[in-house]
Structures are given as C-alpha cells and as structure tokens.
Chain A
Amino acid sequence: MSSVPRFWRNLGSRYNLEGTRCNECGESYYPPRNVCVNCRRVGQIKPYKFKGTGEIISYTLIHTAAEGFEGQAPYTLAIIQLDEGPRLTSQVVGTPEKIHIGMRVRSVFRKLGEDGERGMIYYGTKFVPENA
C-alpha cells in the first residue's frame, strides 16, 4: 500500500473527486492538473468537484488480487467516464454479473484498503450502479 503522506496529500481527490477545470476551454481534469493541456499559459485552471456520476467504458473482473486486496476478490475494476469528461479507474461495488459496458454509475465512500491490522485505513471513492 501507499505511504501515509502520499495518501494524505490526495485526500481531496480520493474522498470527494476533487479535480480541476479550465474556465477558458471547459476541459475538466481528474486527477487535478495545474496547467490546461489545451490552453497552456492562457488557461484558467480552477478547483472543481466532480458530481460523481458517469458510465462504465470497460471493466474486468479480478480474481487474483494484488497484495492487500485478497479479501475483496472477486471484484470489478472499471474504467469510468465521469459525466464531465475525465476517465478514471475504480472498483465498482456490487454483483459482478450485473455489471456491463455503458452502465450508469455513481460514486460512494468506501474503504479502499488498509496497511494490515496495525496500519492506516485508506478510505476513498468507489462506484455503484446508479440505481443501487
């Protein structure tokens, strides 16, 4: 798992889907970018909190989980396109058989992992089917 300071630095993005948006061209960024790739130095980058809704672009079912995630297998890992545009990779909670490409999803607050029994617990955003 990640180090404590590294996780802490990204709390806003992980908890609340905080990214950035360029007020010049309207492009949104997640994770946040400090410079707009379209507008470069004339860009007007501002903090932006994503609504947390989007759809599944692609997904895979993880049976052989990475270290620290064994207890959660099998679980769905998906590329989700947020309604504002950016794509991110996240777990989709719920019955794996019901998940499909194009499915509408919304963000929820869940435990992402933990550093064993003594370490820190990592919280953040996952997704569930929109009507769940």
Chain B
Amino acid sequence: MTIGIVSYGAYVPRYRIKIEEIARLWGDNAEALKNGLMVYEKSVPDIDEDAATIAVEAARYAMARSGVDPERIGAVYTGSESHPYAVKPTSTIIAQAIGATPNMTAADFEFACKAGTAAVQACMGLVGSGMIDLGMAIGADVAQGAPGDALEYTAAAGGVACIIGRKESELAAIIEGTYSFTTDTPDFWRREGMPYPEHGGRFTGEPGYFKHVTNAAKGLLEKLGTKPEDYDYAVFHQPNGKFPSKVAKTLGFTKAQITPGLVVPKIGNTYSGSCLMGIAATLDQAKPGDRIFATAFGSGAGSDAFSITVTDRIEEIRNKAPKVSELIKDPIYIDYARYARHKGKIRLA
C-alpha cells in the first residue's frame, strides 16, 4: 500500500531575536557563537502564542493547502515538549479548530525534538491499516531555554502539520519507508514542574544526536537499498546549523542536498517542528519525482528516518498556503527585554 503526505502547513511566529542581542546580555562572544552554531537569529512567539496556537495555524494551512473535508481526519496527534497543559490534550484544541471533531481520535506525543515525526509514523500506521482515512501529525513548540544557558541561543518557536493519507491521487509525496533507532540516552530532559530543560552539554553530540541520526539514516538506506546520491534533497534535525551539516557529510550527503531544508540559521531550533520544517521548506521547492531523505532526532533519545518521493500533485497544492520562505521573511526584531516578556521570563507579581 502507498502511504504519503496529502498536504502540509508550516507556521513561524513573526518575531526574531539576534544572537548578538542575547550575547550582549550575557557577555558572550556573538561572532564565536554564530560561527560555532551556524545560527544567526531565532524566532520568538508573540505574547499570546504557544505550542497550541502555532499548531492550529500550521494545521489550518495544511487544511487550506489540501482542501480535504476536515471530517475525513480520523486522528490528530501533536508532538511537542511545550504542550500548554500538563494534563489536557493540545490535539483536541487543534482538532476542534480545524473542524475535525468529534468522530476521530486524538492524543499528544512527547519525545523531545522528534515528537512530530513519531506522530507521522503513528498516522502512517493507522492510515496504512485502514483504521482511519486521513491522519494529521503535528510538531510544534515554543522551546524553552533557561536565561544564560547555551540553549537560549537556539530554542525557538514554530510548527508544522502534515496530513497523512493513502489515496494515491491525493498524495503530494509518497513515503516509501521509515526506520527508527532508539535507546535510553539521558542527553536532555525536563523534570515535571520545572520551567527549563537540563542537558548534558557536549554529551548531547556524539552519544545523542550523531549516534542516533547516523544509525537511523543508515538503517533506512540499507532497508530500501538506496544511497545518498539517489536523493535530490536531505533534511536532518537541525538543533543548530553545524550538527546537520556534519552528519550529512558523514553519511555522504552533499551541502547542495541539505541547503534548501536548512532553515535553522534564520529561525533557530523549532524542536518538534525542526525536521518537519526542513521537509516543508524542501517540499516548497521540490519538483515532481524528486526524492527527499529526512531524519529527525529527539533527545532521550531516538531518530526517525524517512524516504520521500514527491508526486505531480505537489504543483497543484504548493501555492495554496504560505511557503516557509514566505513565513520567515519580513521579521520584527526585538531586544532581550521584549523577548523576556514574550517568553514569560519576567514573572509579574
């Protein structure tokens, strides 16, 4: 059976803070950070935006792009590490806001930065088994970074929604295969009730990101019998610009393959939205027949790899919702004080 992406929608808040501005506050070397991270600015949510509002905007763009009847959506799964409620699903808010309720199922996913792709896999299973007609998988975050922590330079806001289906004439991209690699690796966590996550510093690199991304990617290439040169584009989870560039090179992918989907330098790490944002930016410009290799990573830790082939349908739906490049242009730059207010870092009495 053929399973794939019927539609997709992205959303990135309008506000940005530059690395220089964060470095100014903490006395860090902005140039060294920019060179090291390959991130120059990051998106910041508005005062009234959170993971749920971002997910709704992305989901509505996905619906607008496809034009499918919302009542056909049989599942809404939202992956995030910043769900607004600890108990009460984000997914029901989204399902209601796109008109998919009530004859459907919903749940929230959590797996650090790969919760969105885990939701894609769950939808693939439900769609593939015939349990549902269409499924919506979302990755959305307003990522948290403690004031002064290294994460603060990259923890950003954004989200992407994908509608997964199996009716071949409806598919804008076919997912030929997926492969996951998962271990118990404590590289990053946030305890219950704590406002900011903790991380293992450099430990997040080799035993975390690189080990999992490499194994998932190699696993999928082996499973499908494909090679990096068989693909026109590649997307790897982008916590910064350096990691995906390095892992792409290790695996044998070129800079040209990853550049279209590498949005992190301009918007930062959108966590659960990160890999999906790269896929969305790539779908925005891919031609029918193009192949995309994508691998997400979530701390804790695991990676989901996907092999995707774009169909003729992409040309019909692409311009019916804003492209990632349109969403990230014309930003409003804010200073650290306004950023702190938007992110709720200042506690009002």
Do A and B interact? yes
Binding site for B on A (CB under 8 A): 11, 15-16, 49, 70-72, 91, 93, 95, 108-112, 121, 123, 126, 132
Query: By the criterion CB–CB under 8 Å, are B97 and A16 in contact?
Result: yes
Query: By the criterion CB–CB under 8 Å, are B348 and A70 in contact?
Result: yes
* A-chain residues with CB within 8 Å of residue B85 when the two chains form the complex: 121
Determine whether B104 belongs to the interface, using a CB cutoff of 8 Å to chain A. no
Number of contact residues on B: which range applies? Answer: 20 to 34
Query: By the criterion CB–CB under 8 Å, are A111 and B50 in contact?
Result: yes
Query: By the criterion CB–CB under 8 Å, are A109 and B53 in contact?
Result: yes
Query: Which residue of the partner chain, among A16, A95, A109, A132, contacts B57 with CB atoms under 8 Å?
Result: A109
Query: By the criterion CB–CB under 8 Å, are A108 and B84 in contact?
Result: no
Determine whether B340 belongs to the interface, using a CB cutoff of 8 Å to chain A. no
Stretch at the interface among B41-49, B197-205, B208-216, B228-236: B41-49
Separation in Å of the B182 CB from the closest CB of chain A? Answer: 32
What CA separation (Å) do A71 and B14 show in the bound complex? Answer: 19
Chain B minimum-CB-distance residue to A114: B84
Query: By the criterion CB–CB under 8 Å, are B14 and A126 in contact?
Result: no
What CA separation (Å) do A91 and B47 show in the bound complex? Answer: 13
Chain B minimum-CB-distance residue to A128: B14
Determine whether B138 belongs to the interface, using a CB cutoff of 8 Å to chain A. no
Chain B minimum-CB-distance residue to A93: B46
* A-chain residues with CB within 8 Å of residue B332 when the two chains form the complex: 95
What CA separation (Å) do A1 and B57 show in the bound complex? Answer: 25
What CA separation (Å) do A97 and B188 show in the bound complex? Answer: 42
* B-chain residues with CB within 8 Å of residue A123 when the two chains form the complex: 52-53, 56, 93, 97
Query: By the criterion CB–CB under 8 Å, are A108 and B47 in contact?
Result: no
Determine whether B96 belongs to the interface, using a CB cutoff of 8 Å to chain A. yes
Question: For window 26-79 of chain B, which residues contact chain A by CB distance below 8 Å?
Answer: 46-50, 52-53, 56-57, 60
Query: By the criterion CB–CB under 8 Å, are B96 and A15 in contact?
Result: yes
What CA separation (Å) do A8 and B341 show in the bound complex? Answer: 29
Known: A16-B97, A95-B332, A123-B53. A109 touches B60 (CB 8 A): yes
Separation in Å of the B332 CB from the closest CB of chain A? Answer: 7
Most chain B beta-carbon neighbours within 10 Å: one of A109, A111, A121: A109
Most chain A beta-carbon neighbours within 10 Å: one of B57, B96, B341, B348: B96
Separation in Å of the B207 CB from the closest CB of chain A? Answer: 36
A-B pairs with beta carbons under 8 Å apart, 22 shown: A11-B96, A15-B96, A15-B97, A16-B96, A16-B97, A70-B348, A71-B341, A71-B348, A72-B47, A93-B46, A93-B48, A108-B53, A109-B53, A109-B57, A110-B49, A111-B53, A121-B50, A123-B52, A123-B56, A123-B93, A123-B97, A126-B48
